[in-house]
């Protein structure tokens, strides 16, 4: 009797929604656990306060003396809220977040002790981080990396710990985390975009990239998950037959949210409020037990931190509700996967969204400038953008036949397409006054109206313009947004830099007026980047063929996609912008390849174990029951027995055939793994896992799933899809 599955089901069916106390007003608890400007005013000296806020605004270094004042203020605030420990919170290249807690407590001797937190401890720490991946940058024996405070993301309290957002770098200066290159990319886009924005408004001093992410996830009862070794260890099901009812009826999407899920969301939102994460929307997603959470957008660095933080908080809040939060991109085969749409734009310190048209022709030209430059950037670096979202788990979305596909393309809608078509016809050289008036009135001038009537919606494009922002939809639900944001902001920064040079050249050499020059350069960009624009359904064979004709890349697997990370073009891009040096680029590439191979390796091992230790023994047990039945029939009916045992005999044979296939495939997979494991070169190894090991998964799964259908339900040890997806 497969006790674990049935015990888990029994437990799950008996659960009630956990009661959550909702505060009268959420606004009252908003940010209550964040060391924000209001709290700083209260707990810091005037000098310290000014120092921090300036560092936040301009990135200026914090004075060491002042650091002592700041740390003392922070400590006093934290202690007043029941905090005992502090930690440098950072995002190593493993994708998760890391922290090591230290106590404020410090003995003075003679039975005396104080709470201490010095400026040095705030600003810099040396975690014993020798086991974080570093792609060969840091010899593990040296373990010489340090974390340094990032004042642009405020400190916060989680539980009884004060968390200080930090970067993680090697003593030799190379970045060992996700945040450092992101901060450099944000700096690059700030400077490039500010220079371009000044064409339209001299007062602009800073441009922030903005990010609003939408996190999709599945909620499955933790007992059910515990009964599935595959989910427990890999985050997804490696086998399981799809249920008779899947998402065909679409009755979950935007339907009423089940009560346990609602309680989880309320609890989570309250935690988010305290942490200053402005969560706003929640709803069901397409698949059963799939949900989405989205905050209001924020400055990109903070939004990235908030997403990393929330992924952690979700797991912990989930525990209180006996719910496992599955963030994997494809936890269930045949059921919609999960993504993390990255809504992105650029905003000036004067309060303008640069991807939003305005009330004057000049504002509209500004919109067009940033709009067209972004499209051109995506066109020029589509492979790098694809690489940024590549992972073993996201391959199940991007490489498979579902939206979004592995091919990068940009959707802008038919109305804006018309605008760009018109602009393609702009005169080469100086524009006549009539032409300008015509453009201002009938082309550029129409943009605000067009966008108001934004009925042009598309759900399948990997990169879509949605009215006042671009939505990068191909990002995986498990990913740290920093990867995608580093690439997107870098490529746009580079593009805007080049644009500025070209426009200035026309103004200087051809004596053109500023707007004439801008129109001229945009015209050329529109022509050059046309191939990346695609208005159709963003996946399927027809589009793959068409994309190939256009010369767009279609990198279906991670090892293939990652190549772009180390291309000549990428290296020169990052070098020019000072986002990453060659060592950092190579190290990251190696880490991602290693991670890929490791994930496939783990999946292969677990699938092999489950197939051998759970599936085959169960099938044999059932086969024995059938054999006993047939023998019994034979003892009753003698030679006539075959008439009564025909079906049983067929099932017995069928079971044998499936067992044989599973066994031979598992053996072959193990051999393929042995070969792959001997390979030293990270890229070759990743390819070996991708091309030689992974293909066995499907084969093995196929036969296991067939057995699931044949074997007596009472005996089957693994919780079934229908039980995981339809138990609420
Ligand atoms: P939907 O795309 O579901 O219709 P919205 O248009 O309201 O929903 O926005 C979706 C996400 O885009 C939200 O997280 C929102 O905060 C974010 N967003 C809106 N404006 C911007 C912007 N200027 N920059 C970045 N993100 C934005
Ligand atoms: Mg969206």
Q: DSSP for 491-534?
A: HHHHHHHHHHHHHHHHHHHS---HHHHHHHHHHHHHHHTGGGB-
Calculate the alpha carbon distances from 576 to 167, 175, 196, 346, 498 in Å: 22, 17, 18, 21, 12
The CA distance from 12 to 724, in Å, is 10
Question: In 3-state terms, what secondary structure has residue 680?
Answer: coil
Whole-angstrom Cα distance, residue 516 to residue 524?
13
Ligand 1 atom 14: residue of nearest CA: 212
Q: Is 468 in the pocket of ligand 1 (CB under 6 A)?
A: yes
**Do residues 492 and 579 make contact, with C-beta atoms less than 8 angstroms apart?**
no
Sequence length of the chain is 728
Residue nearest to atom 7 of ligand 1 (CA): 296
Q: State how far the Cα of 12 lies from the Cα of 228, in Å rounded to an integer.
A: 14
Q: How many angstroms is it from 292 CA to the middle of ligand 2?
A: 10
Helix (H, G, I), strand (E, B) or coil at 59: coil
User: Angle at the Cα of 509 (from 503 to 511), degrees rounded to 5?
Assistant: 80
Question: Under a CB-based contact definition with an 8 Å cutoff, are residues 380 and 493 in contact?
Answer: no
Q: Which atom of ligand 1 is nearest to the CA of 355?
A: 23
- Cα dihedral sign for 566, 571, 574, 578? positive
Tokens of 79: 């202690």
Half-sphere exposure of 100 (CA within 13 A, CB side): 10
Pocket test for ligand 1, best of 210, 281, 469 (most atoms within 8 A of CB): 469
Q: Which two tokens stand for residue 290?
A: 């799939």
* Spacing of C-alpha 333 from chain mean position: 20
Q: How far apart are CA 508 and CA 485, in angstroms?
A: 34
Kindly state if the Cβ of 344 falls inside 6 Å of ligand 1: yes
Buried b (16+ CB within 10 A) or exposed e, 582-608: ebbbbbbbbbbbbbbbebbbebbebbb
Rounded to the nearest angstrom, the gap between the alpha carbon of residue 279 and the centroid of all alpha carbons in its chain is 17
φ and ψ at 280, to 5 degrees?
-130, -45
Quote the CA–CA distance of 479 and 462 in Å, as a whole number.
16
Coil, strand, or helix at residue 402? coil
Q: How many helices (H) and strands (E) does the chain have?
A: 28, 17
Are 257 and 265 within 8 A, CB to CB?
yes
Query: Are 728 and 289 in contact, with CB atoms under 8 Å apart?
Result: yes
Closest ligand 1 atom to Cα of 467: 6
Report, in angstroms and rounded to the nearest whole number, the Rg of the chain calculated over CA atoms: 29
Structure token digits, residue 228: 């599935």
Whether the CB-CB separation of 353 and 466 falls below 8 Å is answered with no
pLDDT tens digits for range 483-494: 999 999 999 999
Question: How do strand 161-170 and strand 85-89 relate by DSSP bridges?
Answer: parallel
The closest alpha carbon to 332, from 719, 714, 655, 670, belongs to 719
| Cβ neighbours for 377, distance < 8 A, ≥ 6 positions apart | 491, 492, 494, 495
For residue 242, give both structure tokens: 């799809």
* Number of the ligand closest to the Cα of 475: 2
Measuring from atom 17 of ligand 1, which residue has the nearest CA? 212
Look at the block and give the residue holding tokens 């310290």: 48
CB-side neighbour CA atoms (13 Å) of 348: 25
Ligand nearest to the CA of residue 278, numbered in listed order: 1
468 Cα to the center of ligand 1, angstroms: 8
Q: What pLDDT shows up at residue 670?
A: 98
- On the CB side of 434, CA atoms within 13 Å amount to 0
pLDDT under 50: residue ranges of the chain: 1, 139-143
Of 627, 609, 638, 582, the closest CA to residue 704 belongs to 609
pLDDT for position 234: 97
CA of residue 214 to ligand 2 center, whole Å? 6
pLDDT of residue 246: 57
CA–CA separation, 339 vs 214, rounded Å? Answer: 8
pTM: 0.94
Structure tokens at 285: 């997603």
The pLDDT, as a whole number, for residue 142 is: 44
CB distance 463 to 378 below 8 Å: yes
User: Which ligand number lies closest to the CA of residue 472?
Assistant: 2
- 428 SS3 class: coil
Mutate to test the pocket of ligand 1, among 209, 297, 348, 463 (most ligand atoms within 8 A of CB): 297
Task: Name residues whose C-beta falls within 8 Å of residue 148's C-beta, 6 or more positions apart in sequence.
Answer: 123, 124, 166, 167, 169
CB contact at 8 A, 577 and 490: yes
Give distance in angstroms: CA of 57 to centre of ligand 1.
24
Round to whole Å and give the CA distance between 511 and 433: 16
Short-list 352, 355, 401, 410, CA closest to 377:
410
The CA dihedral of 28, 31, 32, 33, to the nearest 10 degrees, is: 160
Q: Judge whether 44 and 36 are in contact, CB under 8 Å.
A: no
Residue 465 Cβ < 6 Å to ligand 1? no
CA distance 157 to 164: 9
Q: What's the CA gap between 566 and 335, in Å, rounded?
A: 34
Angstrom distance (rounded) from CA 195 to CA 205: 9
pLDDT in tens, 372-386: 999 999 999 999 999
- At residue 251, the pLDDT reads 55
Distance of alpha carbon 442 from alpha carbon 390, whole angstroms? 42
Q: Is 211 in the pocket of ligand 1 (CB under 6 A)?
A: yes
Rounded Cα distance between 555 and 408, Å, is 10
For residue 54, what are its two tokens? 């300036």
Q: Is 296 in the pocket of ligand 1 (CB under 6 A)?
A: yes
Shortest-distance Cα residue to atom 26 of ligand 1: 212
Task: Please list, in sequence order, all residues whose beta carbon lies within 8 angstroms of the beta carbon of residue 605, skipping any fewer than 6 positions away.
Answer: 673
Say what angle helices 514-528 and 481-509 make with each other, to 10 degrees: 130
């Amino acid at each position: 009797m497969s006790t674990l599955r049935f015990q888990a089901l029994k437990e799950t069916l008996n659960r009630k929604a956990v009661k959550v106390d909702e505060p009268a007003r959420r606004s009252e608890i908003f940010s209550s656990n964040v060391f924000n400007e209001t709290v700083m005013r209260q707990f810091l000296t005037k000098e310290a306060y000014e120092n921090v806020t300036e560092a936040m605004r301009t990135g200026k270094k914090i004075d060491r003396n002042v650091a002592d004042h700041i740390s003392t203020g922070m400590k006093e605030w934290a202690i007043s809220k029941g905090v005992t420990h502090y930690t440098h919170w950072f995002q190593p290249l493993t994708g998760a977040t890391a922290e090591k807690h230290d106590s404020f407590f410090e003995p003075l001797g003679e039975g005396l002790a104080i709470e201490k937190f010095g400026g040095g401890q705030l600003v810099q720490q040396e975690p014993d981080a020798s086991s974080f991946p570093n792609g060969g940058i840091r010899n593990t024996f040296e373990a010489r990396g340090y974390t340094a405070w990032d004042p642009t993301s405020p400190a916060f309290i989680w539980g009884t710990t004060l968390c200080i957002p930090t970067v993680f770098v090697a003593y030799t200066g190379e970045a060992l985390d996700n945040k450092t290159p992101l901060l450099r990319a944000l700096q690059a886009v700030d400077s490039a975009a500010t220079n371009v924005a000044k064409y339209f408004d001299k007062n602009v001093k800073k441009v922030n990239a903005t990010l609003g992410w939408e996190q999709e996830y599945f909620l499955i009862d933790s007992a059910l998950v515990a009964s599935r070794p595959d989910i427990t260890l890999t985050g997804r099901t490696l086998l399981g037959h799809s249920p008779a009812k899947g998402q065909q009826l679409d009755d979950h999407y935007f339907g009423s949210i089940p009560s346990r899920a609602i309680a989880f969301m309320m609890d989570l939102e309250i935690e988010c409020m305290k942490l200053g994460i402005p969560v706003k929307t929640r709803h069901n997603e397409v698949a059963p037990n799939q949900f989405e959470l989205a905050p209001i957008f924020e400055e990109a660095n903070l939004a990235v931190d908030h997403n990393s933080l929330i992924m952690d908080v979700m797991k912990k809040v989930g525990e209180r509700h006996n719910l496992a939060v599955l963030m994997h991109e494809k936890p269930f085969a045949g059921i919609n996967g999960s993504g993390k749409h990255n809504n992105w734009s650029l905003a000036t310190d004067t309060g303008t969204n640069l991807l939003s048209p305005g009330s004057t022709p000049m504002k509209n030209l500004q919109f067009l400038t940033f709009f067209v430059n972004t499209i051109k950037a995506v066109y020029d670096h589509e492979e790098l953008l694809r690489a940024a979202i590549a992972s073993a788990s996201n391959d199940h979305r991007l490489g498979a036949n579902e939206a979004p596909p592995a091919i990068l393309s940009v959707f802008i809608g038919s109305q804006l397409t018309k605008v760009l078509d018109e602009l393609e016809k702009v005169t080469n050289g100086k524009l006549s006054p009539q032409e300008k008036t015509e453009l201002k009135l009938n082309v550029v001038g129409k943009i605000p109206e067009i966008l108001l009537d934004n009925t042009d919606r598309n759900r399948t494009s990997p990169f879509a313009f949605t009215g006042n922002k671009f939505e990068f939809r191909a990002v995986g639900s498990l990913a740290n947004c920093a990867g995608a944001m580093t690439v997107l902001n870098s490529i746009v920064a580079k593009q805007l830099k080049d644009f500025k040079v070209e426009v200035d050249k026309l103004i200087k050499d051809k004596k053109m007026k500023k707007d004439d020059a801008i129109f001229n350069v945009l015209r050329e960009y529109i022509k050059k980047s046309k191939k990346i624009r695609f208005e159709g359904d963003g996946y399927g064979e027809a589009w793959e063929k068409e994309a190939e004709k256009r010369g767009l890349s279609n990198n279906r697997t991670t090892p293939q996609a990652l190549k772009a990370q180390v291309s000549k073009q990428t290296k020169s891009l990052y070098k020019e912008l000072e986002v990453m040096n060659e060592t950092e680029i190579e190290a990251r590439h190696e880490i991602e390849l290693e991670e890929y191979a490791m994930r496939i390796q783990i999946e292969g091992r677990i699938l092999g174990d489950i197939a051998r230790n759970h599936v085959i023994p169960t099938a044999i047990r059932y086969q024995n029951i059938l054999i006993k039945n047939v023998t019994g029939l034979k003892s009753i009916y003698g030679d006539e027995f075959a008439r009564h045992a025909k079906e049983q005999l067929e099932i017995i044979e069928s079971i044998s055939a499936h067992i044989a296939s599973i066994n031979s495939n598992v053996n072959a997979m193990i051999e393929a793994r042995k070969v792959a494991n001997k390979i030293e070169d990270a890229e070759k190894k990743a390819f070996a896992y991708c091309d030689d090991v992974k293909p066995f998964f499907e084969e093995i799964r196929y036969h296991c799933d067939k057995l699931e259908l044949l074997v007596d339900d009472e005996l089957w040890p693994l919780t079934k899809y229908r039980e995981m997806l339809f138990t609420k």
